[in-house]
Amino acid sequence: MDEGYQIVPNGRFTSWTIGGGAIYNTPVVKGEYRDGLKQGQWDFWHTGELAGIAPKKAAEGEYINGLQEGHWKYYGTECRDMVIMECDYVKGAEQEGTIIEYEYVMDHGKCVPGKVSHDVDRLLE
């Protein structure tokens, strides 16, 4: 164990938040390695627990042979579990035309959907 993470060439990997000498209950990163490369489903969290805030999911998606692949979702820090961006990857490259960004606004203390922006729309501007 070294600063909250353990490197493994094969097997599951979890990086934990460390603060004040304590390991917090929520991981920062969770996934699996095969032959030293990221493989399969990986999940990432914002580390709000250090500040006394419940941790929130930051991103989730799949790796194949160490490269991002397929559909990925990214979450904002303000609105719990609200997707702020989705996009597709092929062999680690973000695919133009697949990026969707979501905007949320606060309405009486609650997050509500705002504007949706597709990267195709930005190209036309």
Average pLDDT of adjacent 10-residue blocks, the chain of 125 residues: 49 62 65 88 78 78 96 86 92 91 82 67 43
DSSP type of residue 55: P
Residue 27: strand, helix, or coil: strand
Task: Provide the token pair at 17.
Answer: 């938040």
Return d(Cα 21, Cα 27) in angstroms, integer: 15
Residue 111: the pLDDT is 82
DSSP type of residue 6: -
Whether the CB-CB separation of 18 and 26 falls below 8 Å is answered with: no
119's enclosing H/E stretch is helix 119-124
Residue 24: the pLDDT is 58
Residue 3: the pLDDT is 42
